[in-house]
Amino acid sequence: MALKRDLYRALEDVVGKENISEDPVILYSYAWRSGLIATPQLFVPTFEAVTLPRNTEEVQAIVKLCNRFKIQYKASSTGWGPYCDPTGPGVIKLDLRRMDRIIEINEKNMYAVVEPYVIYAQLQGELMKRGLVCNITGAGSNCSALPIAAHQGIGHMSQSASYGERNLLGVEWVAPDGEIIRLGSLGASSQWFCGDGPGPSLRGVIRGNTVPLGGLGVYTRAAQKVYHWPGPATFPIEGVSPDYKPSEIPAGFMVRYLHFPSADIMTQAVRKVGESEIGFILMGFNPAMVCGNKARSNEEDVALFKKYTDEVQGPGFLLIIAGNSPDDFEYKKEALQQIMQEFNGKSLKDVEDPENAGGFIWRFTRVTGSLRETCRATGCFGGEVGGTDVFGLMRTYISRASKVKQSYIDKGLLHADGTDPFVQSIEHGHQGHGELLIRYKPSNPESAMAAREIFMVANRTAVEGKFGVPAHVWSDEIHDMFGPHTSNYTRWLRKIKKAFDPNAASESSHYISAKE
């Protein structure tokens, strides 16, 4: 369906001729997805037009035009996630890549304000120069540094630097009908330091467990809390990706992959590491993910996986320690030593080898290995993403789905990368989050269906076992599966959608619709 000419011309007037297109070549380039669990086709529906707004006023003008002409829109920051796609016709894209400025780094009050196309790699580099660091979504530092773009925003540094919803401060929001709303302290002053006030506190409206995935207007700027960085202002890097590493391991840094006799014992060790606050990064990676971080090819990955699984005695986690001073570093190493003794922990040799350790520290801190950690071999991301709760509970939940994964590995439908789930600790153990990754073959419908079946089993497990709402709750269908078991939160979510988006202009197929 071609856009009405008067709408197209009005959009052109907003962004300029060179920043809008309805050329099929451009539209199809936005529609390519290399295999998805829910929709394993390679092309998704195309947008009617793509626009590249430069600032908040242009975003607002586009949103108002969409409301007036009764057409939908959808924004994206880097366009990394499949939830950036429309699921049917009649949608205009707002590609925010021209909004790429770091607005402010406030060293004294420890926050940073960015536009949507600033990526974490940029922000982290600027912060490190100032002795600061931020959490980075586990999806990688190539993703938007806007703390309300990433799906959940949990990442490698969440042990010491929390994540998305908890770090979010002031936000500038073009609401679904085009009104500009400034949240938190920004609503009462020009200051970004607080997400809840003075000024309107709508944090629970604009995001909850996950962000609305494009279904509730457009966020044009946002502030996030940043943290102390104990490392150097710059990392002198040598080599070529993924084989690059700092020329020397920064003083006060140490990386280990620690493995334990059983999952229960490992969970106790994670708790102790949290209590003693020694972890800069604590990721419950399984050996497959550690191999993925390092391996340069599938062949190397398979060989490393065998080597690592032969060596580990049981479940483990990746730990990076960063000392704030030589004494602090000594204290942290000593505390770790005691924890290792108490819980019979052992360290994987390949990771602590000084030849490899610098590279691991760099790739995990810079968050450059995510794609390999999650998509090695098949190029696809598949798995179940649990919710966020107590570490032990999340581990129990996500472990249940691993049994069905094993049955598909046995049938040859999934790649055998082990079934131990990946569980991570957040805020020194205050919270936990678990995921079960699956290496499936998108070109094989049976394999794609196996991945989907694990996803559905995990959803049923969450309901029956009362494990809370997982993060993969996208669409009316999945929300309606959880709503009746969780105080009918869906009624409130739909009321919010209806109140803020009376014309249903903000395309919300990955969020929720306002249907009764």
Choose between 75 and 414: whose C-beta lies nearer to ligand FAD: 75
Choose between 151 and 405: whose C-beta lies nearer to ligand FAD: 151
Exposure string for 285-317, b = 16+ CB within 10 A, e = fewer: bbbbbbbbbbbeeeeebbebbeebeeebebbbb
Least separation, in Å, of the C-beta of 69 and ligand FAD?
A: 20
Choose between 308 and 381: whose C-beta lies nearer to ligand FAD: 381
Residue 285 binding ligand FAD, by CB under 6 A? no
- Interacting stretch for ligand FAD, rule CB under 6 A, among 6-14, 367-375, 408-416, 436-444? 367-375
Residue among 49, 43, 34 at smallest CA distance from 95: 49
Choose between 111 and 219: whose C-beta lies nearer to ligand FAD: 219
Least separation, in Å, of the C-beta of 220 and ligand FAD?
A: 7
Cβ atoms of 209 and 94 within 8 Å: the answer is no
Order of strands, sheet of 383-389, starting from the edge strand that comes earlier in the sequence: 346-347, 253-259, 316-322, 281-284, 422-426, 431-437, 383-389
Dihedral sign for Cα 29, 34, 40, 42, please. Answer: positive
Site map for ligand FAD, 108-147, x if CB under 6 A?
Answer: --------x--------------------xxx---xx-x-
Least separation, in Å, of the C-beta of 271 and ligand FAD?
A: 22
Choose between 84 and 312: whose C-beta lies nearer to ligand FAD: 84
Least separation, in Å, of the C-beta of 435 and ligand FAD?
A: 8
Pick from 124, 370, 378, 461 the residue near ligand FAD by CB under 6 A: 370
Residue 154 binding ligand FAD, by CB under 6 A? yes
Residue 183 binding ligand FAD, by CB under 6 A? no
Pick from 46, 167, 374, 431 the residue near ligand FAD by CB under 6 A: 374
Residue among 433, 501, 487, 405 at smallest CA distance from 137: 433
Pick from 214, 345, 418, 483 the residue near ligand FAD by CB under 6 A: 214
Residue 425 binding ligand FAD, by CB under 6 A? no
What is d(CA 413, CA 408) in angstroms, rounded to the nearest whole number?
5
Cβ atoms of 168 and 202 within 8 Å: the answer is no
Choose between 75 and 194: whose C-beta lies nearer to ligand FAD: 75
Residue 84 binding ligand FAD, by CB under 6 A? yes
What token pair was written down for 126? Answer: 């600027």
AA identity, residue 367: V
Least separation, in Å, of the C-beta of 362 and ligand FAD?
A: 18
Residue 152 binding ligand FAD, by CB under 6 A? yes
Cβ atoms of 317 and 266 within 8 Å: the answer is yes
What is d(CA 425, CA 427) in angstroms, rounded to the nearest whole number?
7
What is d(CA 63, CA 74) in angstroms, rounded to the nearest whole number?
9
What is d(CA 26, CA 501) in angstroms, rounded to the nearest whole number?
29
| Paired strand residues for 423 | 284, 434
Choose between 118 and 351: whose C-beta lies nearer to ligand FAD: 118
Residue 510 binding ligand FAD, by CB under 6 A? yes
Task: Give contact residues for ligand FAD (rule: CB under 6 A).
Answer: 74-81, 83-84, 96, 116, 137-139, 143-144, 146, 149-155, 211, 213-214, 218-219, 370-371, 374-375, 381, 510
